[in-house]
């Protein structure tokens, strides 16, 4: 497992630099004042002013800093050293107060000593597929939440991940129950598809909905809502178009009715943990 994670870490270190230098992440617009959060997240998370927010798997921090612009006291963590270095540089350049820590998610308590201190734990869009096991993920989330605090995730729907991303006809390409890591090789990234990376191999895991729910429920959280959506934050399948909200949808309206592309979920820590 360490070999898989090390391979992914090398990929993300290279990708962080490429994404910060490219156009897809709209870094220039962000520096000019743009809020990078999607309308879905803003609506469902709600007012964060004065709240302590922990952002898991934050990449190079644009969403974390967007929450800071809305008044949250933010901490972002990621396992890619280069991503955290860019995030820290952005925080300083834009004079936005934020704490960024480089850490493997599973060993975060060794680095961040703030158990039960956060009002919100947040993560979004293409994150849990990089984690081999969600049980400890759920415990980490609960560990950092205050009683009454909540966790929010917006993420690619597990059903969407089973389809071949190159096929326009919903051809099955991956298992829904991913017990073994899925190895992929690509010289580009989801955001910079024409990139020429040195590190081209990644490993990922598909997590069924039952595993996601079980990880959170067994950690002592209560599911407040679970929503399914017809859009995605990236071009996850062929023949999609970007809307004014920067979210991607099928061009064919009939296709939009066929499969969910994203889910969003909110879960609250009830009190004492199991």
pLDDT in tens, 164-215: 999 989 999 999 997 889 999 988 788 777 778 888 899 999 999 999 999 9
Domains of the chain, start order: 2-269 (3.40.50.150)
Dist. CA 121–CA 86, nearest whole Å? 22
Q: What is the pTM of this model?
A: 0.96
| Whole-number average pLDDT of the chain | 95
Return the percentage of the chain with pLDDT > 70, whole number. 100
Mean pLDDT of 216-237: 97
Per the CB < 8 A criterion, the answer to whether 37 and 44 are in contact is no
Mean pLDDT of 142-153: 97
Q: Is 41's pLDDT higher than 90?
A: yes
Quick check: helix, strand or coil at residue 7? helix
pLDDT band at 1 (very low <50, low <70, confident <90, very high): low
As a whole number of angstroms, the longest Cα–Cα distance in the chain is: 49
Residues written for the chain: 274
Pick the range with the lowest mean pLDDT from 21-35, 64-78, 119-133. Answer: 21-35
Per the CB < 8 A criterion, the answer to whether 156 and 261 are in contact is yes
Which residue from 130, 173, 163 is spatially nearest to 239, judged by alpha carbons?
Answer: 163
193 burial level (CB within 10 Å; 0-12, 13-18, 19+): exposed
β pairing state of 262-269 and 221-229: antiparallel
């Amino acid at each position: 497992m360490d070999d898989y994670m090390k391979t992914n870490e090398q990929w993300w270190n290279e990708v962080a630099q490429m994404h910060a230098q490219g156009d897809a992440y709209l870094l220039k617009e962000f520096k000019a004042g743009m809020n990078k959060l999607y309308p879905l997240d803003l609506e469902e998370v709600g007012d964060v002013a004065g709240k302590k927010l922990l952002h898991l798997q934050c990449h190079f921090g644009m969403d974390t800093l967007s929450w800071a612009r809305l008044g949250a006291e933010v901490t972002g963590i990621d396992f890619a050293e280069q991503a955290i270095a860019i995030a820290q540089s952005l925080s300083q350049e834009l004079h936005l107060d934020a704490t960024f820590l480089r850490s493997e998610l599973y060993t975060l308590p060794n680095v961040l000593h703030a158990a039960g201190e956060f009002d919100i734990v947040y993560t979004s869009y293409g994150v849990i597929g990089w984690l081999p096991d969600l049980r400890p993920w759920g415990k980490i989330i609960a560990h950092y939440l205050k009683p009454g605090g909540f966790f929010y995730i917006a993420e690619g729907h597990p059903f969407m991940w089973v389809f071949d991303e190159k096929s326009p006809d919903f051809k099955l390409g991956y298992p829904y129950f991913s017990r073994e890591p899925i190895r992929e090789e690509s010289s580009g990234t989801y955001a910079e598809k024409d990139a020429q990376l040195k590190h081209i191999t990644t490993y990922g895991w598909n997590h069924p909905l039952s595993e996601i729910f079980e990880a959170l429920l067994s950690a002592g959280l209560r599911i407040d809502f679970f929503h399914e959506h017809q859009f995605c934050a990236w071009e996850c399948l062929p023949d999609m178009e970007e809307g004014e909200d920067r979210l991607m949808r099928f061009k064919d309206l009939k296709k939009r009715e066929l499969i969910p592309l994203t889910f969003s979920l909110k879960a609250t820590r009830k009190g004492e943990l199991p």
